[in-house]
Amino acid sequence: MNASAQPLTIKDFTSDQEVRWCPGCGDYAILKTIQKLMPKINQPKENIVFVSGIGCSSRFPYHMNTYGFHTIHGRAAAIATGVKLTNPALDVWVITGDGDGLSIGGNHMTHLLRRNVNLQILLFNNEIYGLTKGQYSPTSKTGTQSPSTPDGSVDAPLRPCSFALGAGAKFVARTIDTETQQMAPVMLRAHEHKGASFVEIYQNCPVYNDGVFEYIKDKKSAADTRLVLEDGKPLTFGADNQRGIRLNPKRLALEIVTLGEDGVTEADLLVHDEGNMVLAQMLADLKAPAFPEPLGILYCDPMAPEFVDGVYQQRQAVRDKKPPADLNALLRSGHTWQVD
């Protein structure tokens, strides 16, 4: 309860439900980070609602001592929209996965982002179906061997951040399950953003897809595989930030350069601009191993209109013009006649 004046702690947000993820699952680290973060978001606990679909990640709400709704496969986005439409004051977090949010629920995700409903979407991307025992998912790399693709998957994967930008998302970010230091500020920004905030989390599934993000999780090679984004700062990476990203205007493509080589200076590098949609789309397209993959906030447009606000403003505008609701008067509107 939030009745006492005591500040809330992680304990207040930890439910008494036994956590049932596999040992070593990346979901544990994400849960811990979010639980730790909750006291910092300045929301009364009773206003926080976690809504999830189906999948390993979607068990998340059971472990948060807030309001929670574990719904059906793919539909968390639609259910959360109904929650916000009904009570815009609630602080809603949608928890979903690559299968839940981008395969069976891809349509709802598209429209949630397009409408820009004010809530946070945490998409746990483990590039596999965990709960149904390891089938390949829409984000699995081509060639992924799984029970349903014993000879390797044939189809091309979908890139969650590119998808979100394409759908018109106004806040798109990426983080890694175990990188608490990097994840926490991203989550705070996502929460702060008024609109649908989309956060892709690279999440390791040690049972069915172990090590799939090792190229970027491994601290030893992190400097070369991560492009950590900071608004207003040049796009650099590598040991001592000696390498950077430059725009090749002839090819209209990004390319890697090394500072000091061929006369390249920091002035030649692209500077990250969260408000630049074209840059965000190019960044979202960067893939290992050819490029380091961006982490942090790819895109943020804080000025875009929010859906539920629009709905209530429009309603108010109509109410300002019409006489107050009167059901008897409504029934008697139009042509009526009296029988004596």
Binding site for another protein (CB under 8 A): 1-3, 15, 17, 44-47, 49, 51, 54, 61-62, 64-72, 75, 77-87, 89-90, 107-108, 110-111, 311, 314-315, 318-319, 322-325, 327-328, 330-332, 334-340
Q: Are 246 and 257 a contacting pair, CB within 8 Å?
A: yes
Q: How far apart are CA 193 and CA 171, in angstroms?
A: 7
Q: Are 121 and 198 a contacting pair, CB within 8 Å?
A: yes
Task: Name which position in 21, 50, 171, 202 contacts ligand SF4 (CB under 6 A).
Answer: 21
Our CB check for ligand SF4 shows the closer of 27 and 306 to be 27
**Cβ of residue 147: shortest distance to ligand SF4, in angstroms?**
13
Task: Please report whether residue 299 would count as binding ligand SF4 according to CB under 6 A.
Answer: no
The size of the interface with ligand SF4 (CB under 6 A), counted in residues, is: 11
27 binds, options ligand SF4, another protein, none, Cβ within 5 to 8 A by partner type: ligand SF4
314 binds, options another protein, ligand SF4, none, Cβ within 5 to 8 A by partner type: another protein
Task: Name which position in 33, 125, 126, 225 contacts ligand SF4 (CB under 6 A).
Answer: 126
Q: What angle do CA 140, 143, 145 make, to 5 degrees?
A: 80
294 phi/psi in degrees, rounded to 5? -65, 140
How far lies 248's CA from each of 213, 245, 252, 286, 299, in Å?
28, 10, 6, 14, 21
**Cβ of residue 38: shortest distance to another protein, in angstroms?**
12
Q: Please name the residue that has the structure tokens 């409408």.
A: 115
Q: Please name the residue that has the structure tokens 């050819």.
A: 290
Our CB check for another protein shows the closer of 239 and 331 to be 331
**Cβ of residue 56: shortest distance to ligand SF4, in angstroms?**
3
- The dihedral of CA 280, 112, 36, 225: what is its sign? negative
Residues 6+ apart with CB under 8 A from 251: none
Task: Please report whether residue 10 would count as binding ligand SF4 according to CB under 6 A.
Answer: no
Side chain identity at residue 126, one-letter code: N
1 binds, options ligand SF4, another protein, none, Cβ within 5 to 8 A by partner type: another protein
Task: Please report whether residue 101 would count as binding ligand SF4 according to CB under 6 A.
Answer: no
49: three-class secondary structure by DSSP:
strand
Listed residue (119, 126, 60, 66) closest to 93, CA to CA: 119
Task: Please report whether residue 56 would count as binding ligand SF4 according to CB under 6 A.
Answer: yes
Our CB check for ligand SF4 shows the closer of 28 and 291 to be 28
Interface region with ligand SF4, contact rule CB under 6 A, candidates 22-30, 32-40, 66-74, 256-264:
22-30
Strand 236-237 and strand 293-300: pairing?
unpaired
Three-class SS string for 118-132?
Answer: CEEEEEEECCCCCCC
- Interface ranges with ligand SF4 (CB under 6 A): 21-22, 25, 27, 56, 126, 130, 205-208
